[in-house]
Chains A and B, each alone.
Chain A
Amino acid sequence: MEHKELICINCPLGCMLSVDIDDKGEMTVTGNNCPRGDAYARKELTNPTRIVTSIVNVNGGELPVVSVKTRDDIPKDKIGDIIEALKSVTVEAPVTIGEVVLKDAAGTGVDVIATKNVGCKH
């Protein structure tokens, strides 16, 4: 029997969720005021994911860096690996929104893409 507590992020109410996990891995969620809380708790405890946003260096751009994101959610415990993988990435200007700057980042199968247009330096 395992017990976890977390805060639901679906709405401003911020329910304090209490989750009991039995030996077979079955979860019982309490403290939620709606079904979204239950679903959130199950996802957070079995497979928490996040979108990661950061920046990478640009060569010859009107800005020295371009903002980027993982195209989809990645496992939460991979956030640090993605950042490390982006450390060595430099892209050439011009950069356009949606352009892939790193394929299959840190073995997640998810690409990192540019989220901003960066033109060439005048």
Chain B
Amino acid sequence: MNKHVKILIIGGGPAGLAAAVSAHKAGVEDILIVERDVRLGGILNQCIHNGFGLHTFKEELTGPEYADRFIKQVEELKIPYRLATIVTDLKLSDDGKTKIVTTMDEEGGLNIYDADAVVLAMGCRERARGALNIPGERPAGIYTAGTAQYFVNLEGRMPGREVVILGSGDIGLIMARRMTLEGAHVKLVAELQPYSGGLKRNIVQCLDDYGIPLMLSHTVVKIHGKKRLTGVTIAEVDDRLSPIPGSEQFYECDTLLLSCGLLPENELSGQLGVDLSPVTSGAVVNESLETSIPGVFSCGNVLHVHDLVDYVSEEASAAGAHAAEYIKSASGGKAGSDGDETKVKVVTDGGVRYSVPSILRPDHMADLTTIRFRVGSVFKDVDVVTYADGKELARLHKRVMAPGEMEQLILRKADLIADGIPAEYRITIESK
């Protein structure tokens, strides 16, 4: 027999926890969080550095402490969760209304849930060596920064001693400091792009503090070592990111950590038939963070990769509240999204890579709508301008924007529909 649940949340990391708490506060108590790990909190459990929560709690917490704040709320509200449980299948019932979620876990075996609404909060994974297609041997000693972080911070083991890091994403920078503090020698961080992918604060406090060089416009072109890594060849790249012949240099090391980007884990979303954005690899969502399938919501790093967990919580709270609204409107007899209502596309150009949401439904907009976006390169002293069918709605001056940092716009409904409902909104960057 399938079990029924009103809102099933896939993932008990920061996104899933915040979504659960907010859905509960919005009046839906029949919730189940399904978490694949043995504890709630997701990746925060291994992010033991500080710097979390400045926006949410106005204090600087470590990852586990930040997670604990939400876990406590889940416990207090008695929101049910299943740990060490994986969702193996996600599909729609024949009438398209119910979401059928199959799970497996050692204790409970195989279970099938009929959920009225689903919140996708599965997070992301790190880009692996294979996806980077780095040539060379295939020895031990090549880890993603996150795997190394797991070994050091959760198992208390060192994955290496002489370390080179490829990619200056935040986890890579954080691991440069962690490995150094725990007694390894981090030789350098190589970054393919001419700018760092990480936060400025991390460059100063994780690299500069320990004298670790950051080599911009450099990449690993060859991996050496039959059994364990013996070294890497690093080359400088030109402005098309191609290695420059003759610039190759060999660095002896036993460990290569990869911090080359994060990818939303949307395999389950794909199974369900959710429309995915080729830019973010996350779901295409509307202002309610609802995907192309009514009653399926997405938030956190599975929607698009965030750099601050505070924004994940904020976004997930919104998704949880919208999921609760969906449940309440459906049970109250009033149709939720019926597919006929007006949808306005949000298009981005001029250096804005994408926006979340990318669809706005004026009927469903709150007074304020938050639009998050990322830019494709470094911009200085520019305006982020929002247009409705060519008419300027809002202009926000930015002294600097970088691909490594998520940006946001908060738009007023009154402005968005001041002249009626447009055919499309456009967000772009203009220099003075």
The 8 Å CB contact of A55, one of B48, B61, B204, B405, is: B48
Q: Mark A62-98, 1 if CB is under 8 A from B, else 0.
A: 0111011100000010010001000000000000010
Q: Which of A1-49 contact B (CB under 8 A)?
A: 6-9, 11-14, 33
| B227 adjacent to chain A (CB < 8 Å) | no
Q: A54 an interface residue at 8 Å Cβ cutoff?
A: yes
CB-based contact B48/A64 at 8 Å: no
Give the bracket for the number of chain A residues in contact with chain B: 20 to 34
- In the complex, whether A108 has a CB less than 8 A from a CB of chain B is no
Q: Separation in Å of the A13 CB from the closest CB of chain B?
A: 4
Pick out which of these stretches binds chain A: B10-18, B104-112, B148-156. Answer: B148-156
The interface-forming segment of B218-226, B286-294, B396-404 is B396-404
Q: How far is the CB of B138 from chain A (nearest CB, A)?
A: 29
Query: Taking A12-B402, A54-B181 as contacts, is the C-beta distance between A117 and B50 under 8 angstroms?
Result: no
Measured between beta carbons, the chain A residues less than 8 angstroms from B204 are 6-7, 9
- Complex Cα–Cα for A63 and B37 (A): 14
Set of chain B residues within 8 Å of A67, measured between Cβ atoms: 48, 62, 64, 153
CA distance A22 to B404 in the complex (A): 37
Residue of A nearest to B66 (CB): A115
Given contacts A7-B208, A97-B68, A117-B68, contact A64 B402 (CB under 8 A): no
Question: Does A120 reach chain B (CB closer than 8 Å)?
Answer: no
Task: Decide yes or no: A57 and B156 within 8 Å by CB, A12-B402, A12-B405, A79-B181 being known contacts.
Answer: yes
Closest Cβ–Cβ distance, residue B206 to chain A (whole Å): 11
What is the minimal beta-carbon distance from B264 to any residue of chain A, in angstroms? Answer: 23
Which residue on chain B has the smallest CB distance to residue A65?
B156
Given contacts A33-B399, A53-B48, is CB(A7)–CB(B203) below 8 Å? yes
Complex contact A55–B208 (CB within 8 A): no
Q: Per-residue 0/1 for B52-69: is the Cβ within 8 Å of any A Cβ (1 yes, 0 no)?
A: 000000001110110010
Task: Give chain A residues whose Cβ lies under 8 Å from the Cβ of B45.
Answer: 116
Assembled-state Cα–Cα distance A51/B177 (Å): 13
Which of B181, B208, B401 is most buried by chain A, counting CB atoms within 10 A of its CB? Answer: B181
Answer yes or no: A121 CB below 8 A from chain B CBs.
no
Could you name 14 residue pairs across A and B whose Cβ atoms are closer than 8 Å?
Answer: A6-B204, A7-B200, A12-B400, A12-B404, A12-B405, A55-B48, A63-B155, A65-B154, A65-B156, A67-B153, A68-B48, A79-B209, A116-B45, A116-B65
Binding site for B on A (CB under 8 A): 6-9, 11-14, 33, 50-55, 57, 63-65, 67-69, 76, 79, 83, 97, 115-117
Which B residues are closer than 8 A to A by beta carbons?
A: 45, 48-50, 60-62, 64-65, 68, 152-156, 181-182, 199-201, 203-205, 208-209, 399-402, 404-405
Across chains A and B, which 9 residue pairs bring their CB atoms closest together, nearest first?
A67-B48, A65-B156, A116-B64, A9-B201, A115-B62, A14-B200, A13-B400, A51-B50, A64-B156
